[in-house]
Every structure is written in structure tokens, then in C-alpha cells.
A and B are shown apart, each in its own frame.
Chain A
Amino acid sequence: MRDAWHHRELWAHLGWQDIKQRYRRSVIGPLWITISMGTTALALGLLYSQLFGQELDTFLPYVTAGFIIWNFILGVVSEGTDVFIANEGLIKHLPAPVTVHVLRMVWRQVLFFGHNLVVYFIVLAVFYPALTQPYSMVGDELNSHPGISWTMVLAIPAFALIVVNAVWVALLFGIISTRFRDIPPVIHSFINLIFFMTPIVWHVGVLNKVTGGSGEGNWKVLIAELNPLYHFVEIVRAPLLGHTQDWHHWVVVGGFTIVGWALALIAMRNYRARVSYWV
């Protein structure tokens, strides 16, 4: 790990290079990443606000923020499983620490996230009046949110925490899938399912509403609560939209960070040297 830090210029440069690569030979270059995100968020927001009968003013920003964060998680998980397999040539020819490839990938995803954040700011500007007032996602007074305020800055440490998690996910999943090649297809197929199970295009409040708002202890709410990705999404999204935030999300994410890193470090210690044999 320390070695990889010494190589920070290398992976930082490579990550940039990957982005610049996308701009090459295209006329509007960087905008492509932003435009595709914008179109998807707009389409999903329009569709699902109608399906669930939600206020577009608040639901579209909700979907946008959620989808941008989801995209980062999706990128890390799906590319993380392939990270060593894709860099086979480099691993076999240059004695750089394997962590370099992981950090390069995560850094690239962070840069993508930065591009997509532009969409969020546009949406924010458009729906600013609606978002700065207290509002409710599901249309009852119980679940009202205070609106955007200075708490927005909480999104920064929250995202940093997700990035820290991204590194262990890529390390651990990367090592496992290099050894067992059927892990990547499994993950690729499950990740779509998880997208629909995670409250991104729908709101957790809806689960409460369906069951008559009985709230705590409701088994349907567990669909969201038991999904770790919900907590990851929520710690960043809530401050971005001025939602009330429950501290238990931070606790869950913190727990995952510690357990995940412990597992990743064990895997690294035992199998780091084997990666070059397995690729």
C-alpha cells in the first residue's frame, strides 16, 4: 500500500489519461459523459414521477442525485471485478504494485463522478425554489424535509467515505474474480437487480405509505434497510437534496468500511503475490 502511494503520480496520470482518451476524436469531448447522464436522469425522473404520482419539482432532483451516486458505485463494482484481469499485460511486465491499477480505476471513476455532478448542479439551479423550501417526498406531513441548507457540505465527507470503500471493494473483488473467473458475470447480472432494489428511482417513503404509514418495524421497509447500497447512496444524497438524515446510515457505512478494509487487507496479505500468477 505504501508503495502505491509513492506511485501516486503514476495512477493519477493514468486515470486522467483514461478520461482524456474519451475526449479524443470526439467533437464535444467531455460533454458526452455529462450529456448521457443528463438524458438518463431526465428520462428516469419524468417516467417514475408519473408512475408514482410524485411532484416533478422534487422527484427529478432526487432521481438525478441518486443516479449519479449509483453510477459511481456501479462503475467501481463492475470495473473493480475486472481490474486485474484487464491489466494483465501491465501486471506481467512491470513490477508496479497491483494497488496502482485499483487506484487508477477508482480515480477515473471519481473524475467521471465529477463530470456527472454538473448535471446535478444544473438540476439544482432549475428546481432551486422548490428545493429550498421544506417539502415532502411522499406527500404527507410526516415525511417532510427541511430543504437545502448548509448541511449540504456533509456530502463531501460522505463521498470521501464512499471512495475509501471503493478501494477495498475493487481490491477484494478484484482478487477474488482473478482467481474465480465466474465472479464477474455473476456480479454483472446481479448489479442490475440491485439497482431496482435500491431506492434510487423510488423513495423509501413509498414503502411506508403502501403499508399505511405504520413506520418502524415494518418488514417492507427492511427491503431498503437490509440493502447496504441504500445506506451508501443515502449518506451522499440526503445532504445534496436537503433531506432529513438518519445517523444510522453513517453507522452502517462506517461498519462496512472497517469490515471491508479488514477483509481486503487479509486478502492482500495472503494473495497479493498470487495475482500475477492468476491473471
Chain B
Amino acid sequence: MVGIDVWNASVDFPIFDAKSRSLKKLALGKVGGKIGSEGRVPIIEALHDINISLRHGDRVGLVGHNGAGKSTLLRLLAGIYEPTRGSSRIVGKVAPVFDLGVGMDPEISGFENIMIRGLFLGMSRKEMEKRVDDIAEFTELGDYLSMPLRTYSTGMRVRLALGVVTSIDPEILLLDEGIGAVDAAFLEKARDRLNDLVKRSGILVFASHSDDFLVELCTTAIWMDEGQVKMHGSLRDVVTSYKGRDPYEHLSEATLERIGQPRVLSGNGGE
């Protein structure tokens, strides 16, 4: 059963400056006695007392200011950070899409990058070989795929990364914002594929500042503030209290149509 459970989890980052990361300091600190035991490594509490339980079918949007802990929370859910206090249990194949550039090698060709990325996301070589054509078609990169990645523009890299991620079948999909650098026509196409992918994956957690995307992909939302869950509820409620206005009010006609919601009369929400 696919699921994520997090109990009372905290994530503390030790901040080692050059001094405290050295053995000498540690040794001298011991000799000195008092300073060693008290002058401990300062920490940043990135996440504090998080309790989350997600099950198959959950579509969660993450909202919050910069530095509120959205990305850290995603990494906690991906299993990259294990909680320093509390505990977490993650069952299912995780596909994190945080930074689209990481894990891409600029010197090797697009095809080879597709392979490496797929392998990192837990696919086997055979499975990836089957998907390569599909990815090539989606990205519309054509002959560029056999050129080294350093010749690509930012948008082309995003296409490639999105192509790989959307072609695999993850059980838990974690998306961080940063899907900005693609052109409108491709975005339309990516949207369909993302929707499709979201339907296929068991759990989605999506951090974004874009109301459009959130409304379209998510049903519930978590509002992160200063490393804590400030609010957890339906997407509309959470976004309304986070932004101080109803997200549905500002959506374009086309988006509303896609999600099958009637237009909200102005002035209805948001005080």
C-alpha cells in the first residue's frame, strides 16, 4: 500500500562553520572541558513537529513563503532527509522533481541523460529503452537529442527533464516549482502529460506559487510557515487564507472549464 506517514518529525540542520567542522576544534574543545560541551554546533530548525499522513489518491499542494520549509518538507517526504527527531515511513516508489538540472551531465548527449535520469529514478535499463522514443517525441527535440547537453537552452533542458519524469510511473510524485522556463505551447502539452501522470501516480505533493497549477493538480493543501504546518485542509480553504483571496476568482475561463468549476462571482470570497 502506497503511503507516507510522518510523526512529530523535525529536521534540524547543523551549521558547521569552518571551525566546528575540524577535528582540531573538537579535540581542543574536549581538553578545555566546558566550552566543548556547551559551545555546541548551532542548528537551524528547518521543520518542526510535522505530522502528515498521506494515502493513495491524495493530491496535496504546498504553499508558503520562501524559506517556510516547503522544499525541506518535500525532501523529507522523498526520504532524502531522515527526521532528526520523530519518525517517518515512506512506502512506494518516489519520483522527486526538485531541481531539473541536477543529475544532468552537460557533456553527454540527451539520450544518455535520459537513461541516467531514468536509472536514478529507479527504472531499469530495459524499461528506459522502451520509453526513449516516447520521450523523444514528447520533448520535440529531434536531432538535438544526440548532441551534448551543453548545447541546449534552459527551456530545452526543462523539456528533457519533464519528458523523463512524466514517462515513468511513480507511486509518489513530488514536484517543486521551477517549471517556468518553457514556452506556452509546450506548457499546454506538459500540462496534459502532468495531469495524466498525476492520475497515474498514487500520491502527489506539489509546491508552487501558481494558483493555476495548484487548482488544476491538487485537491488539498498544506500551508507551511516557519517550519510548521500552519494549516492543512481543502485546497480552496488553505489558499484562501494564505493569499487572502479565493484562488478560483482569478482563474482564466479556460482553466475553469478544464477543471469543471463554475466561475466564482467576484466579491464572493477573500475577506
Q: Which residues of A contact B (CB under 8 A)?
A: 7, 9-10, 13-14, 17, 20-21, 24, 89-96, 179-183, 273, 276-278
Contacts and interface: CB of A to CB of B under 8 A. Distances in A.
Interface string B211-253: 0000000000000000000000000000000000000000000
Given A17-B112, A93-B96, A276-B75, 6 more contacts: A9-B125, A13-B115, A21-B108, A90-B103, A93-B102, A182-B22
A267 B96 CA distance: 27
A21 B124 CA distance: 22
B80 A181 contact: no
A180 B21 contact: yes
Contact of A180 (B23, B75, B116): B23
B8 to A, nearest CB: 17
A276 B81 contact: yes
Nearest to A89: B102
B99 interface: yes
B103 A93 contact: yes
B13 A277 contact: yes
B107 A93 contact: no
Nearest to B12: A277
Interface of B: 13-14, 16, 18, 21-24, 26, 75, 78-82, 84, 94, 96, 98-99, 102-103, 105, 107-108, 112, 115-116, 119-122, 124-125
B103 A92 contact: no
Q: Name B's interface SS.
A: loop
A277 B82 CA distance: 9
Contacts of A183: 23
Contacts of A96: 120
17 contacts: A13-B119, A13-B125, A14-B116, A21-B105, A21-B108, A89-B103, A90-B120, A91-B80, A93-B99, A93-B102, A95-B79, A95-B80, A181-B18, A183-B23, A273-B81, A273-B82, A277-B14
A181 B124 contact: no
Nearest to A273: B82
Contacts, number: 76
List 6 tightest A-B contacts by C-beta distance, closest first: A273-B82, A10-B119, A93-B102, A95-B79, A89-B102, A182-B22
Contacts of A92: 75, 80, 102
A182 B112 CA distance: 36
Given A93-B96, A277-B14, A17 B22 contact: no
Contacts of A277: 13-14, 81, 84
Contact of A182 (B13, B24, B80, B102): B24
A17 B23 contact: no
B110 to A, nearest CB: 14
A263 B14 CA distance: 24
A21 B107 CA distance: 8
Contact of A94 (B13, B24, B120): B120
Given A93-B98, A95-B78, A276-B80, A17 B105 contact: yes
A21 B79 CA distance: 30
A90 B94 contact: no
Contact of B120 (A10, A20, A179, A180): A10
A7 B116 CA distance: 12
Q: Which among B16, B75, B120, B125 has the greatest number of chain A C-beta atoms within 10 A?
A: B120
B207 to A, nearest CB: 14
Contacts of A17: 105, 108, 112, 116
Contacts of B122: 7
B71 to A, nearest CB: 10
Contacts of A179: 21
